[in-house]
């Protein structure tokens, strides 16, 4: 459960969208997480669902894959966010 990393707070300004910066940053974070020994990376989002699935090819994941503390934070927020991720 603690062998997973979270990719969070990724934002690309509108005038830089479509240039591959987001994908490059995600790949950098994935490589860093892998080098630190993490086995999975996940992202939680309401607004980046299409990006997570379409461009990053992250799979939808059940909330139960989240570390207990992160799951509690998400559930207490009341947000209907989706969880996406991949094995590293």
Contact residues for 51 (Cβ-Cβ < 8 A; gap 6+): 22
Q: Structure tokens of 6? A: 């979270």
Q: How far apart are CA 88 and CA 31, in angstroms?
A: 8
pLDDT in tens, 26-43: 999 999 999 999 999 999
pTM, 2 dp: 0.85
pLDDT for res 26: 93
pLDDT interval class at 9 (50, 70, 90): confident
pLDDT for res 1: 54
Checking if the pLDDT of 45 tops 80, the result is yes
Longest dimension (CA), the chain: 38
Q: Structure tokens of 1? A: 């459960």
Q: Are 73 and 28 in contact (CB under 8 A)?
A: no
Query: How many Å separate Cα 7 from the centre of its chain?
Result: 4
């Amino acid at each position: 459960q603690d062998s997973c990393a979270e990719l969070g707070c990724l934002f690309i300004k509108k005038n830089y969208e479509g240039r591959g910066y987001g994908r490059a940053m995600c790949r950098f974070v994935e490589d860093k997480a892998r080098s630190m020994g993490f086995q999975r990376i996940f992202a939680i989002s309401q607004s980046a669902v299409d990006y997570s699935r379409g461009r990053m090819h992250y799979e939808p994941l059940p909330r139960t894959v989240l570390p207990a503390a992160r799951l509690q934070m998400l559930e207490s927020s009341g947000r209907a966010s989706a969880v996406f991720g991949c094995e590293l």
